[in-house]
Every structure is written in structure tokens, then in C-alpha cells.
Amino acid sequence: MVSSLRFRIVWMLIPLLGLLALLGGSGIVLLGRLGGSIDAILRENYASVEAMQRLQVAVTQIDFSFRLALADHEDKLPQEFVDEWRLYDKWLDVEEHNITLPHEQEMVDQLVALTDAYRRQGKTFFLKLPATGDQRRLAYHGPGGLEEQFAKIKNTSGEILDLNQQNMHDADRAARQTAHESLIGFAIGLAATAALAALLAWQTTRSLLWPLQAMTQSAVAIGAGNLDQMVPVVSRDELGQLAGAFNDMVRQLRAYRESGYARLLRAQRTSQATIDSFPDPVLVVDSEGRVEMANPAAQRTLAIPGAAEGEASPLPWDPPEALRQPLGEALRDQRPFLPEGFDRLVLLSRDGQDRSFLPRILPIQDAAHNTLGAAVLLEDVTRFRLLDQVKSDLIATVSHELKTPLTSIQLAVHLLLEEAVGPLSPKQTELLLDARDNANRLLSRVNSLLDLARLEQQHERLPLSPLAPAELLQTAADSVRPRAEDKGVKLVVDITADLPRVAADAARLGHALDNLLYNAVTYTNRGGRVSLTAKVEPQAAAAAEADGPTDGAKGHAKPRSVVIEVADTGRGIPPEYLPRVFERFFRVPGQSPEGGTGLGLAIVRQIVEAHGGHVTCDSQPGSGTVFRITLPALANEMSKV
């Protein structure tokens, strides 16, 4: 029977996996024993220890009331006496319901009997004996008196306390012993596992390395041009099959080398067959924009007639309006066009239905980096666009439905904390404060989801109005300044004088700045610095000086941009994560000291783009991060700059 390579590897690993499973099971059992020991310490003994300690405090206060009565000749039952007995009875009841040790019941019964006698003598002392004279003194100091009963109660409760403390010490020693034994067992198991792993690695290397070395040497020779190579087939497993496939490949390579034309023809046919197999439209254009290859999907969708094999179409292709500029840049500047968002979709009709396509345009170059043409792929994302729309509608609906009950919960918690419906215990207050914080956090995230859904749906235009950047920046800085001061971060606002106004929704744009400032303060350590600046875009300003302040043809001020920067001296963002910082629900791994949803920067981008601007991020790990918001200035404002 011929065993496969997979079968051999699996049987090599089974002993190791079995030993690992044994170690894991033993670890679970031992951890369970440790947990049980600790639980026994806390559950069975700690309650009794605490009860006896507090009972001794209460009985000491009761004894103090007798001594105080002897000194001050009180003739009525003191309120402190009654209150301390309540505490005493409470902790005695705790102990009566937590008897877990041998002989503890006898001690508790003795303590109950002493308590009853002490209580009766105490009531007689206050209610039946005169405040003056020697009767009370004799009742307290005499044989069998209150002082003697007090001492017996202290001794008995102390014995119960010592019994439970001793049991706690015994349980602690047992837990330590279990931990010690566990460490020894795990050390032995790990040593055995390491030895077995070394043995299996040696066997696997011996059985696999030689065939792979032979194949590597043959591959190197083939790469050097020597196609007269054959790998010996020494087994029938996967390595043998690989060697056979390798030999078949070498034979085919020799055949292709013997006929260069056949190879080129095959490559052309393979390329055409490859793009024909794509369900999405795919076409290749030459440097003049003429279609060289197109699959059936592209011919149906873009109305491209089939070209003769190996020849380009006689006329240049007239692409849809949305593809003309990126296709021209790919052919002229060798600039690829690889959009990710649905904002660059191309809407076309295919098979009588309107479809949404996400374009991909890649320039084709030769070895000398000359442009040979471009490949165009139109990815059909109609279903994904509909799913995204359904997702956005669902998020908006769910967020809206959650917001009202969350607000009601906040109001209820607020009323409870104000003690409008009755007083609260410290524990209740602590729980309500935690509930309020969680409700606020949840409501904030629901609001973020709702804001993002509204911005994505774009059902309504933002109410834009002329806004001075200085006012906007100062308001945003004031809102985050208390947090910066609490954290010890310096907040600096630097605004260029006479900045032009921008068309903005103050609330929305302020929300975007709040998100950026909040992140900057969060990821900046104490003693760091956060800067908020606004200025006219330098390139636009230089162009204004060169071209003049107005457009001579139309007599209007040339459009300019206002750049708002939020810079910090924090930890920075690694370069591999910079392209994703504005994605929804993305958070830089390992750099979030506080909980969040990863929606803040996505909301910032949506708000800025809704204002006709764009936002970018530059960062160096350890040197800080800079976010730049570029907004178009009002045309009639630039004449003031």
C-alpha cells in the first residue's frame, strides 16, 4: 500500500499532538484545582473572618456603652447600644449561615448562648438597675457580670476567627503545593514534547529534503538554459507526483523552445482565452487608444466590435465620459487608476439592465518603460453597491431606533443619581455611575453610526453658509482644551490673519475638527504639543500672485483653498496603516488606549468631502501626525487676501 505524503506527515505529528493534548488537559485540570482552592478560601473562610472581626468591633462598642453609663449615670437605654446590637446580630447571623469547618458549629452555639445571656444582662443593667449606687457597678464588674461575659464573647469569637484564618492558611499552602507540582509536571511534559518534536523534525527533513534538493538543482539548471534535466522519481507520493509534473514541464519547455512561433501563438490565444473567461468587461487598448483585445462582456457592455485576431481596431475607442481622463493619464503619464470607493463608479447598461462598474486601468510598458497601451477592467459591483446601500439604510434605521430608548435610559439614570425617587446606597450609586458612562458611550457610538449613515446616503444637502475659519478653529480648540489640560498636553492655535471665509456647515465641520483634536490629544503623551493652524494653500497663493487676483475673462476672483492642519507630537502611525486610516471601523492595531469604533476619521472624511474639500494624513512613527483639511474658499473672499 502506497502512503501519501500527507498521510506520512500526519502520522509523524499524531504523537506530538497527543502529547500536547495531554499537556493541555492536565493544565486545565490543574488550573481547575487551583481555582477551586482559591474559591474555597474566599467562599468558606473569608466571610467568617470578616463577620467575626466586625462582631468584635460591635461588642466592643456595646461594652463601651456600659462603661460610659457607669461614668455618666445614664438612666435610659442609649441609642448607640441599640444600633450596635443590630450590627452585632447582623454579623452573628452571617456566621451562623457560613459554618463550614469541623467544631465550628459548637463554637457558634456557644457564642449564641453567651450572646443571649449578655443581651439579657445588658437590658437589666439599663432598664431595671438604678443609675446611681453600686448595683450597676456590681452587675458589670461582679462575678458573672457584663465584663466577664464580654471577655467570653471576645474569646469565643476570637477562636472562630482563628479557626477560619488557620483554614485559610492551610488552603493557601495546598494551593502553593498544587502550583509547585504543576510546574514540575509541565516542565517534564515540555521537555518530552521538545525531544519528540526534534525527532520528528529530523525524520521529516531526511524524507523530504533530498527530493527537494534534487528538484532545486534541476530548476537552477533550467533557469540557466539547460533544458536537458530530469528529476528521478523515487516514490509515488506527492513528491513523486511533483517530480513527474516537473519532468513533464521540462519536456514541454523543450517543445516550445523548438517552435518560437507556436509559443507566441499559444501565448496570444491564452491571453485572449483568459480575458474571455472573465465575466466582467476586460479590454486592452494600444498607445493610440485603439482596442486590441476585448472579451465578449466588454463587447456587449461597451458596444465594441470584435477585432481581427492579432490586429487592432482601425478606429480609436470612444470610452465613457468617466473613463476618458483616467485612460488618457494612463496612456500619457503611465498613471494607474485604481479607485476603491463607490464615488468613482461607472453606470452602464448590460443585457437591458443598468449596472454599476468599478473601473481599473493599468498602463502596459515594455522593458524600456515605453507605453504600449493600457488594460481596462470594469468590475461589476452592482450587487455590492446594493448591499452597501442596504447596510447603510439598516445602520441608519437601527441607530435611529436605538437613540430614543438610550436617551430614555440616560434620563432614568440621571433621575436615579439625583435621588429624585429615593436615596441610594454607595454600591447603587457606583453601579448607576457605571451605567451612565456606558449609556453615554453607547449613545455616542450610535450617534456616530447615524451621522455616517446620513452622510453616506446624502439625502439632503448640507446647510452651507459663509464661515470664518478663525471662529471655527477657536470654538473647536475651546471644546477640547479642558481634556488637553487634564492630560498635560499643550494646545496651540495659530491662525493666519485675514483668512477668507469658507462655505461650511458650522456644526458638521466643527464635529470633524473635534474628532481630529480628540484623537490628537488622546495619542499625545503628557508634555506633548497639539497645534491647530489655518492658512491659505501655499500653491494657490503663489498662483494668485503670478496670475493676478481676478480672472480677466469673467471678472471673478480665482478659486483658492483654505488649509486647516491638526498636528501633534504623539506616537505617530506606521506607514503600512496610513492608506487605511479613513476606512470605516479601522483602528491602528496596538495603538488605541481607549475604546472606540473606528468611525471618527471616516466621519471626518465624509464631512470634508460633503463640503467639496479633501483630507489627508502624514505621519512618522515617533514624530507625530498631521491631518490636513483643504476647503474651497468663497470666490468673493479671495480679493481680501
Cα–Cα distance list, 279 to 273, 276, 341 (Å): 12, 8, 21
Residue 541's pLDDT band, with cuts at 50, 70 and 90, is very low
Residue 621's pLDDT band, with cuts at 50, 70 and 90, is confident
Q: Does 627 have pLDDT greater than 90?
A: yes
* Dist CA 98 CA 103 (whole Å): 13
Q: Does 211 have pLDDT greater than 50?
A: yes
Residues β-bridged to residue 531: 492, 567
How far from the centroid of its chain's Cα atoms is residue 174's Cα? 41
List pLDDT tens digits, range 393-437: 555 566 555 656 767 777 777 777 777 777 878 887 877 777 776
Helix/strand/coil for 75: coil
Query: Which amino acid is residue 104, in one-letter code?
Result: E
What pLDDT, on a 0 to 100 scale, did the predictor assign at position 617? Answer: 92
Q: Average model confidence (pLDDT) for the chain?
A: 76
**Which residue did the predictor score with more confidence, 272 or 365?**
365
Q: Does 523 have pLDDT greater than 70?
A: yes
Q: Does 524 have pLDDT greater than 80?
A: yes
Q: Does 544 have pLDDT greater than 50?
A: no
Q: For each of the domains in the chain, give its residue range(s) and CATH number, in order of start.
A: 10-192 (1.20.120), 279-380 (3.30.450.20), 386-457 (1.10.287), 465-640 (3.30.565.10)
* Dist CA 596 CA 586 (whole Å): 10
What pLDDT, on a 0 to 100 scale, did the predictor assign at position 637? Answer: 59
Q: Does 582 have pLDDT greater than 60?
A: yes
- Mapped to the 3 state alphabet, what secondary structure does 310-338 carry? CCCCCCECCCCHHHHHHHHHHHHHCCCEC
What pLDDT, on a 0 to 100 scale, did the predictor assign at position 555? Answer: 40
How much of the chain is in helix, strand and coil states, percent to nearest 5? 60, 15, 25
What pLDDT, on a 0 to 100 scale, did the predictor assign at position 26? Answer: 72
What pLDDT, on a 0 to 100 scale, did the predictor assign at position 134? Answer: 84
Query: How many residues are there in the chain?
Result: 641
Listed residue (277, 278, 306, 280) closest to 293, CA to CA: 306
Question: Cell 457564642 appears where?
Answer: 111
Per-residue pLDDT, averaged over 478-488, amounts to: 90
Q: At what angle do helices 600-610 and 426-457 cross, to 10 degrees?
A: 40
* Dist CA 239 CA 233 (whole Å): 8
- pTM tops 0.85, yes or no: no
Per-residue pLDDT, averaged over 446-475, amounts to: 72
pLDDT-above-70 percentage for the chain: 72
**Which residue did the predictor score with more confidence, 513 or 443?**
513
* Dist CA 609 CA 603 (whole Å): 10
List pLDDT tens digits, range 328-385: 888 888 888 877 666 567 777 766 667 777 888 888 887 787 887 888 887 777 766 6
Cell of 613: 474639500
What pLDDT, on a 0 to 100 scale, did the predictor assign at position 552? Answer: 40
Residue 551's pLDDT band, with cuts at 50, 70 and 90, is very low
How far from the centroid of its chain's Cα atoms is residue 93's Cα? 48
Listed residue (562, 557, 574) closest to 608, CA to CA: 562
Q: Does 457 have pLDDT greater than 60?
A: no
Longest dimension (CA), the chain: 133
Q: What DSSP element (H or E) covers 235?
A: none
* Dist CA 266 CA 268 (whole Å): 5
**Which residue did the predictor score with more confidence, 471 or 463?**
471
Cell of 129: 438597675
Listed residue (412, 421, 418) closest to 439, CA to CA: 412
